[in-house]
A and B are shown apart, each in its own frame.
Chain A
Amino acid sequence: MSLADPSTNALLVRGVSRHFNGLVAVEDVSLTIAIGERRAILGANGAGKTTLFDLIAGDIPVSQGRIEFHGEDITNQSVANRVARGLRRTYQMARIFPQLTVLENLIIAIIGVSKQHFGLGLIGQNDVRRQQAMALAERIGVEAFAELKAETLSHGQRRQLELAMALAGDPKVLLFDEPAAGLSPLERIKLTEVIKSLSRDITLVMIEHDMEIALGVCDQVSVLNWGRLIAEGSPEQISQNQMVHDIYLGRKQRDDA
């Protein structure tokens, strides 16, 4: 395990806000996430978690604030530039390319982080990109479906595929949006294993409703409510925080009951 320079953070979010036609989605949120950290973002539906991911990934511009990635200001960088720096994300509803095969989905993710977006060389059977894609498929456990069209995959398999796509290339920061949602118990175990096996050079930020996974793999937890950051701390501190309990964990337990 290599410990990175503690003076730089993986992700620094400073006073970031996002308004949609006067509606506040994210309001003055600041996060400091160290390199190698596993951070969980909790919050009820509509708390602004996914919007926060959209802002960090660059899918939508911030209304206010600043975002730094490994010490560099990326607030006004394009999505493509953020990906090139090592930022990857998954989506709340898994977004894959349904008409491509599972392997082609992974190959396109590998091409995306390479400099060969307009490559005209044939991708043969022994192509290195194909082998990398196969390795990713095996790592995440979807190798059996490699040659099937991605549209034939189950909900859980799609999520796994998307996760594998995010691992393509050399990711530095991963934003996982509810990676365990809709997964079978077996798939959840596999997911936890994959996350735990990630190199500590990689920083992970995760929105997750499954408390077992979120609190099991994460060192730090941030809680959002109505677009604002209301609590931050270790999993123990957060599960004992009365306010978080009232707004989120309590409600969640009632829902589960």
Chain B
Amino acid sequence: MTLFFVVTLNGLSLAALYFIAASGFSLVFGVMRVVNMAHGSLILLGAYVAFDIAEWSGSWVLGALAGSLAAALAGVLLQVLFFNRMAGSKDQQTLVSIAVSIIAADLMLAHWGGLTYQLNLPSLLEGSIGLPLLGVNYAKIRIVLIVAAIAVGVGLWLLIAKTNLGRLIRAGVDDQEMLHALGFNVKGLFIAVFALGGALAGFAGVVAATALSVAPGTDVQFLLAALIVVIVGGMGSIGGAAIGAILVGLSEQYGLVYAPTYGIVFTFIIMIGVLGLRPQGLFGRGDVG
């Protein structure tokens, strides 16, 4: 029984990481209908930059800020250089982002090499805490991770539901021409969304490098996780991404423990099952052609 609870907690903390990784991806898709397959590259970039800056400054916080900022900047560049110019063609945007991810992976390999990087924990988060009732010690960082994911989720929800920017974003989803006609700066709005999506990707990279570790291939791993999470949950829905992340995180951990050989396949089976029954995902709006 204790094992089951620990595995469940592991699953939830993995879900937390996947949610942060998927939220930026989902936000960008939700607002602009852009499927950014380079999202994994932004995550890895954030992790690498965070490592370099944390090494140099000795501060995890500075590293985390720099990593998020670098990925935000890269996200803005993607929007300005590519996506902005081809607003009409969704398949073309997807292909461009695939091309960018191939180039980015290769250039990052050239610069940072094939090593595995891990960010040192801030001393505050080191060690473990005893869990009440269960009588086991559990790593602090994993608990913090779950809290961080909830904070990101609530923050995004507040941003979209309660602020002026959020109202603009929601309007932008439904009627871009109308927004433009009303004199809103749609271009600026989209750049802001990409910056936010990039920053979330970078932060996901920082968290991944702190809680686990990163190396070449981490980009693909997290892109796939993000894809599956938002496919299962429904593209563009923050709540859907949360449910999707929990499903994927739990199934991956239960799979690893209870069916170690094929556990890794479980996640995909969930996704294929959901898509077969509901092509738009559990919470998707079904307007994706």
Touch between chains A and B, by CB atoms below 8 Å: no
A residues at B contact (CB < 8 Å): none
B residues at A contact (CB < 8 Å): none
